[in-house]
Amino acid sequence: MIVAELKQEFETLQILNPDGEINEGQEPPELSDEELKDLYRWMYGLRVFDQRAIKLNRQGRLGFYAPMAGQEACQIGSVAALNKDDFFFPSYRDMGAAMYHGLPMEQVFLYSRGQKGSGQIPEGVNMFPPQIIIAAHVLHAAGAAWGFNLKGEKKVAIALFGDGATSQGDFHEGLNFAAVYNAPAIFFVQNNHYAISVPLEKQMKSKTIAQKAVAYDIHGVRIDGNDIFAVYKAVKEAADRGRNGEGPTLIEAVTYRLGPHTMAGDDPARYRKKEEETDWEKREPIRRFRKYLQNKGLWSEEWEKQIEQEMLDQIAETIKKVEKMDKGQITDLFEYVYTDMTPDLKKQKEAYLRWKEETK
């Protein structure tokens, strides 16, 4: 009986269907034409970015890279509904959201290349560096959000992570802490159905991720993560609830990565069926949003080409700039371990410099 109720409660919200039409009984979020176009500019720009980043990785001009194609609605919608002073906790796949939230593209490339300044989030950009340890940052979002309550600030914290992360203990602890302290945290799961090669049914027996909210007595929603309107609406509502003192929200955004897990040799053909991929391609987020805008007379091929060109130009300029930047010295590493360098580190640094000098 309980399972039946859960099924009812966690139906997947879809506003914009794969045909680019608004579903019956649904309303798109209140966004101006300019705001709609801006969302599209970001989403389509991100698709171009992803394709180009994959090429740059293959050419050896970028290092670690986790493709985002297919998840543009999640990446952009999750942060578009927030304010710049809300705090964002990304995982390693969330560079699109990071850029929308204010992280310069230059920084994304430095991180990918493991170059000096990697992870050095500029002042005024409210985010942690991308999290590699799966679900560790779920707790950070809970902690930061709890802090906003203590300071009486009307801010929220959002963590983005994948379906695999929901198996981690820190996922549970994070949701539990946020629930207990009524912290305005948004836990945004991009359920792309695979954690590398492991399908969702091997992560969990639950029918949905959203239903896990029940265990914490927090608000949980399941949305079509390829529908920019559903994502935007869910995050907006979660943020409003958080700011109004109504605590955390778990959002399960159902999506699909069109590419591999990372560029480090992952081949989805080993674990995914071609038909499955083709099926998801029909439901990918950009195509349907394009149709919607086209129907409203807000899209043209020319404009899209322009977005593409602007993005390619920005990437070309940025990668060239980054390639000319300092790769970093061993001695730089000593600077950021502690606020004041310890005697041991000073000694090691000096010894290294002496050795360099002597063996020149």
Partner 1 sequence: MATMTMIKAINDAMRVEMERDERVLVMGEDVGVNGGVFRATEGLYQQFGENRVFDTPLAESGIIGTAVALAATGFRPVAEIQFSGFVYETMDQICSQAARLRFRSGGRFNVPLVIRSPYGGGVKTPEMHSDSLEALFVHQPGLKVVIPSTPYDAKGLLISAMRDPDPVLFFEPMRLYRSVKQEVPEGEYTVPIGKANVVKEGNDVTLIAWGAMVPMAQKAAEQAEQERGISAEVIDLRTLAPMDMETILSSVEKTGRVVVVHEAVGTAGVGAEIIARINEEAILSLEAPVLRVTGFDTPYPISSLEDEWLPSVARIRTAIDKVLDF
Q: Which residues are catalytic?
A: 257, 261, 271
How crowded is the C-beta side of 325, counted as CA atoms within 13 Å? 18
At residue 89, φ and ψ (nearest 5 deg) are: -115, 100
Helix then strand count (H, E) for the chain reads 14, 8
Choices 45-53, 225-233, 267-275, 339-347 (CB under 8 A): range interacting with partner 1: 339-347
Cα dihedral 48, 64, 231, 200 sign: positive
Cα dihedral 187, 255, 92, 99 sign: negative
Name 6's Cβ contacts closer than 8 Å, sequence gap at least 6. 207, 208, 211, 214
CB of 342 to partner 1, least distance (A): 4
144 near partner 1, rule: CB under 8 A = yes
Tokens of 238: 């979660």
Please say which residue, 33 or 344, places its beta carbon nearer to partner 1.
Answer: 344
**22: alpha, beta or left, given left = phi > 0 and alpha = psi -120 to 50?**
beta
CB of 205 to partner 1, least distance (A): 23
Among 31, 54, 180, 204, binds partner 1 (CB under 8 A): 180
**x/- letters, 81..120, toward partner 1 (CB under 8 A):** ------x-----------------------------xxxx
Among 35, 306, 336, 356, binds partner 1 (CB under 8 A): 336
Choices 94-102, 134-142, 187-195, 223-231 (CB under 8 A): range interacting with partner 1: 134-142
297 near partner 1, rule: CB under 8 A = no
* Cα(50)–Cα(96) distance, integer angstroms: 9
* Cα(288)–Cα(19) distance, integer angstroms: 6
217 near partner 1, rule: CB under 8 A = no
338 near partner 1, rule: CB under 8 A = yes
CB of 336 to partner 1, least distance (A): 5
Please say which residue, 76 or 157, places its beta carbon nearer to partner 1.
Answer: 157
Among 133, 264, 316, 353, binds partner 1 (CB under 8 A): 133
